[in-house]
């Protein structure tokens, strides 16, 4: 395993493991003194790749995603952990999202969010097959947070993106910003607007893919078995905004 580049944040302390989220990320301190939610090998290589690709596309697209980066976990650090935690965190490159001073977004706060931001998040989730942002008056978990000081939305978690079992019907029934759908899909000018933004985001595709750590492309530590994630198929699916069916919501 090669040492990290000097620009890569190195994890120097594992503070605790989060009880929230499907992957239960580790809350760690980096050598830049920031706290990170770190998703290691136990989160799944596919999950790490999805976070990286979707997060970078989100940045270019203009989604207010929490700052993230590839972080490095040194071998000597996991020697201090339990067997289970050492196995799930692993060593080498991991996905790290900077901890934010935010509160979980409630249903009553939806109207506080700029309509343009709501539309952008809805379109982006539809584009990347992300069904992990559901919230109705009855409850849910949108993986969205609100900055009480900044009065801004903070978006996290794209590990469920590119979902092969994505349901169009459920998406437009349960997505937190589902009410914005007509303003996007039934308006030709808005469709052109979001098509252009998606095309611009995809201009960075090769750069994003090239920066995926080699370790993430394999499902085993020996790096002999490739992951099941087909990056060419992901790109093909992301280009479907050129297809009329993309805008039919069916």
Tens-digit pLDDT profile for residues 71-94: 999 999 999 899 999 999 999 999
Please give the model's pTM, rounded to 2 decimal places.
0.94
Q: Tell me, what's the pLDDT at 195?
A: 97
Tens-digit pLDDT profile for residues 156-194: 999 999 999 999 999 999 999 999 999 999 999 999 999
Long-range contacts of 150-154 (CB under 8 A, 24+ apart): 151/112, 152/64, 153/64, 153/105, 153/113, 153/117, 153/121, 154/64, 154/65, 154/66, 154/100, 154/102
pLDDT at 106 over 90: yes
pLDDT at 98 over 80: yes
Averaged confidence pLDDT in the chain:
94
**Average pLDDT, integer, range 93-102:** 96
**Domain span at 243:** 1-249
Q: Tell me, what's the pLDDT at 4?
A: 56
Number of domains in the chain: 1
pLDDT at 3 over 80: no
Check residue 190 and report its DSSP letter. Answer: H
């Amino acid at each position: 395993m090669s040492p990290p580049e000097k620009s890569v944040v190195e994890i120097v302390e594992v503070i605790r493991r989060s009880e929230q989220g499907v992957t239960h990320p580790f809350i760690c301190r980096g050598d830049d003194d920031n706290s990170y939610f770190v998703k290691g090998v136990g989160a799944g290589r596919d999950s790490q790749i999805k976070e990286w690709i979707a997060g970078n596309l989100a940045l270019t697209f203009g989604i207010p995603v929490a700052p993230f980066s590839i972080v490095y976990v040194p071998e000597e650090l996991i020697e201090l952990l339990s067997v289970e935690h050492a196995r799930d965190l692993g060593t080498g490159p991991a996905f790290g999202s900077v901890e934010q001073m935010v509160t979980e977004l409630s249903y009553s706060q939806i109207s506080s969010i700029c309509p343009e931001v709501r539309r952008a998040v809805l379109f982006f989730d539809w584009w990347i097959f992300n069904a992990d942002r559901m919230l109705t008056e009855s409850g849910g978990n949108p993986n969205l947070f609100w900055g009480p000081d900044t009065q801004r939305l903070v978006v996290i978690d794209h590990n469920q993106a590119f979902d092969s079992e994505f349901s169009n019907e459920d998406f437009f029934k349960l997505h937190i910003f589902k009410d914005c759908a007509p303003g996007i899909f039934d308006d030709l000018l808005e469709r052109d607007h979001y098509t252009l933004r998606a095309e611009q985001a995809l201009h960075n595709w090769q750069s994003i893919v090239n920066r995926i750590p080699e370790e993430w492309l394999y499902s085993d530590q020996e790096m002999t078995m490739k992951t099941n994630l087909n990056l060419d198929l992901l790109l093909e699916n992301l280009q479907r905004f050129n297809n009329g069916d993309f805008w039919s919501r069916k």
